[in-house]
Chain A
Amino acid sequence: MTVSAKPTVTPRRSMRNKRSPLASAGLHAALIAAAAVAVFPPLWLLVTSFKPKNDAFSTGLVTHFTFANYSHVLADTEFLTWFRNSVIIVGATTVLGVFIAATTGYAVSRFRFPGMRPLMWLLLITQMFPVAVLIVPLYNLLASLNLLNQPAGLVITYLTIAVPFCAWMMKGFFDTIPVEIDEAGRVDGLNPFGTFWRLVLPLARPGLAVTGFYTFVTAWAEVAYASAFMTGEENLTLAGGLQTFVNQYTNDWGSMTAAAVIIAVPAALVFAFAQRHLVSGLTAGTTKG
């Protein structure tokens, strides 16, 4: 089912004639150009963050290497507060989201129960909902529950973004675990929850990791809800906070670049772990109902 991502490809071109040197050069030139376009913006961000504030837009590489932007961001702005807010919100979302997605994925993968088909559809369709339909009613709902400017409000909102997709991915992972394991657990007297918790979940650990990474990355980078529901400097998350460096009135590009680098690094590391499995989970989940 996840054949598409298996790297076990036999070298299929072995029988083919060798490429001509010209074709080879063209291939490399095209790939180098594409790679340069892909890498340049993040690289430039990194370079700029080490330049003194007034040189932020100089075209050269770093001439006066400095950590001033970083120390300014960490010491003189609310950055650490935003970072803490984001960590709390994203952490809670990830833990809750993975757990909920796992139980749902397991139920959908193993049991045939009334309401299963509508549920699968529901999970697929919710990915389609535009922020715009939900955001106002959700804002009012959170306001009436006193959850505006509260981490909990954003956490439950993010769950609705991440969980449907994650549940599909977890279903894909559970589908690859042999049903015999469940049956063995049943024979040994475990109830369905015991089987799930003690036998199947440990085996699905790679799947859990990937779902966790996905939830983390999604929540870490969310903008619309965070901008609408969180106001006041001390309540912002990173996505909202970064907007305060560069808006209509102030353009503090130096701080912006340093903050951006600090935000991007953990996400990029997490991503590096997850990316290979992401797409196999995705295509498995969506092409095989």
Chain B
Amino acid sequence: MTFAVRVRRAFGTHWYAWTMVAPVVLVIGVIIGYPLVRGVFLSLTDANEANVERHIGVNHLPATYKFTGLDNYQAVLSDSVFWDRLGWTVLWTVGCVSLTFLTGLALANMLNRTLRGRTFYRLALILPWAVPAFISIFTWRMLYNEKNGILNKLLAGGGIDAVPWLNDPTWAKLSVIACNVWLGVPFMLVALLGGLQSIPGELYEAAEMDGANAWQRFRNITVPGLRAVSSTVILLSAIWTFNMFPVIFLLTRGGPGDATEILVTYAYRLSFIDSPRDFSASAAWGVLILVLLSLVAVVYRRALRKQGEVW
């Protein structure tokens, strides 16, 4: 069978499947594929606001940036700013994901019992998920307000000095983490509750008859039973948190100074806020973020596979 015939035959069998996926491939190709390739290319040039192709009035100025190889990467990686931001981003991701996961796990275990008012608690606890994130973030900004926010007013009522929630580097870091944990817990809670409910009750009864105490039941039944759903939500949550633009951008704009700036917001700042806009450095940051995340995902998957997970 010649190649052309094979292609034609494959097309004959699969043309409807291909037609159905074509829109997605097209959209992803144009809106993600092209910008991605272009982003990688930009990161290898010295493009900035002053030398890209642009229009001023009726005049059309052609692009004058040139190819500079790996210069941007060298500059970024040898700059302590990148490593500082990376250190904080890792701390931020690990802190947020672990706190969110542990809180979600604790609450899910509490809710997964027969108790009065269960529906009420469940609804109240997932409420933060129902409010659009940027609304919640603005609300938190209001609560955190140093002079007039309710948190400091309550502290003042107890005779405690005002806390500079968003204006002191350390406090600001704690505040953004707290806000993000608040935003993230409902998702964890619902996912883990679903996981808990899929564990057969007989397992617990059998363990109880064998004399296992509460901790042993948790350790030997709940934890393994939750492994599949946990590994998924932890990976997803880590990726989301690593790239969590709105919380940082809307709560502190990366400040005070650049204390709370994570990699994503810093890359955004380079190309949209700082002047002159530095497109190539921003693109280099972006590519590095993508590489880091891919590495984490691959290592994570491999670790799971070693433990015999199918995922």
A177 CB–B CB distance under 8 Å: no
Give the chain A neighbours of B127 by CB distance below 8 A.
38-39, 42
Q: How far is the CA of A28 from the CA of B107 in the complex (A)?
A: 11
Q: CB within 8 Å of A: which of B203-253? A: 204-205, 208, 228-229, 232-233, 236, 239, 242-243, 245-246, 249-250
Q: Which of B14, B52, B143, B148 contacts A111 (CB 8 A)?
A: B14
Beyond A42-B128, A192-B16, whether A128 also contacts B191 by CB under 8 A is no
Q: Which of B134, B142, B263, B290 contacts A257 (CB 8 A)?
A: B142
Q: Do B35 and A3 touch (CB < 8 A)?
A: no
- Which of the candidate stretches B74-82, B90-98, B164-172, B280-288 sits at the interface with the other chain? B280-288
Per-residue CB contact flags for chain A residues 9-32 toward chain B (1 = under 8 Å, else 0) read: 111110110000000100110110
Per-residue CB contact flags for chain B residues 99-113 toward chain A (1 = under 8 Å, else 0) read: 000010001001101
Interface of A is mostly: helix
**Interface residues on chain A, number (Cβ under 8 Å):** 104
A75 CB–B CB distance under 8 Å: no
Q: How far is the CA of A3 from the CA of B196 in the complex (A)?
A: 11
Q: Do B132 and A267 touch (CB < 8 A)?
A: yes
B190 CB–A CB distance under 8 Å: yes
Q: Which residue of B lies closest to A48 (CB)?
A: B142
B32 CB–A CB distance under 8 Å: yes
Q: Which of B121, B194, B293 contacts A130 (CB 8 A)?
A: B293
Q: Which of B153, B233, B287 contacts A133 (CB 8 A)?
A: B287
Q: CB within 8 Å of B: which of A35-78? A: 35, 37-39, 41-42, 44-45, 48, 56-57, 59
Per-residue CB contact flags for chain B residues 1-36 toward chain A (1 = under 8 Å, else 0) read: 000000000100110111011011101101110111
Q: How far is the CA of A196 from the CA of B16 in the complex (A)?
A: 11
A282 CB–B CB distance under 8 Å: yes
Q: Which residue of B lies closest to A256 (CB)?
A: B138
B68 CB–A CB distance under 8 Å: no
Q: Do B124 and A132 touch (CB < 8 A)?
A: no
Binding site for B on A (CB under 8 A): 3-7, 9-13, 15-16, 24, 27-28, 30-31, 34-35, 37-39, 41-42, 44-45, 48, 56-57, 59, 100-101, 103-104, 106-108, 110-111, 113-116, 119, 122-123, 125-141, 156-157, 159-160, 163-164, 167, 191-193, 196, 217, 220-221, 223-224, 227-228, 239, 242-243, 246, 253, 256-257, 260, 263-264, 267-268, 271-272, 275, 278-280, 282-283, 286-287, 289
Q: Do B264 and A130 touch (CB < 8 A)?
A: yes
Give the chain A neighbours of B285 by CB distance below 8 A.
132
Q: Do A103 and B23 touch (CB < 8 A)?
A: yes
How far apart are A70's CB and chain B's nearest CB, in angstroms?
A: 15
Q: Do B131 and A119 touch (CB < 8 A)?
A: no
Given contacts A13-B204, A138-B31, A192-B17, 6 further A-B contacts (CB under 8 A): A128-B239, A133-B287, A134-B31, A136-B283, A157-B31, A159-B31
Beyond A27-B113, A104-B20, whether A272 also contacts B130 by CB under 8 A is yes
Q: Which of B110, B145, B154, B245 contacts A57 (CB 8 A)?
A: B145
How far apart are A139's CB and chain B's nearest CB, in angstroms?
A: 8
Q: How far is the CA of A246 from the CA of B227 in the complex (A)?
A: 43
Per-residue CB contact flags for chain B residues 271-286 toward chain A (1 = under 8 Å, else 0) read: 1100000010011011
B38 CB–A CB distance under 8 Å: yes
How far apart are B298's CB and chain A's nearest CB, in angstroms?
A: 11
Q: Do A114 and B14 touch (CB < 8 A)?
A: yes
How far apart are B28's CB and chain A's nearest CB, in angstroms?
A: 6
Q: Do B153 and A59 touch (CB < 8 A)?
A: yes
Q: How far is the CA of A59 from the CA of B204 in the complex (A)?
A: 48
Q: Which residue of A lies closest to B203 (CB)?
A: A12
Q: Do B243 and A136 touch (CB < 8 A)?
A: no
Q: Which residue of B lies closest to A221 (CB)?
A: B132
Give the chain A neighbours of B246 by CB distance below 8 A.
221, 223-224
B256 CB–A CB distance under 8 Å: no
Q: Do A279 and B191 touch (CB < 8 A)?
A: yes
Q: Which residue of A lies closest to B190 (CB)?
A: A279
B141 CB–A CB distance under 8 Å: yes
Q: Do B264 and A242 touch (CB < 8 A)?
A: no
Q: Do B243 and A131 touch (CB < 8 A)?
A: yes
Give the chain B neighbours of A280 by CB distance below 8 A.
194
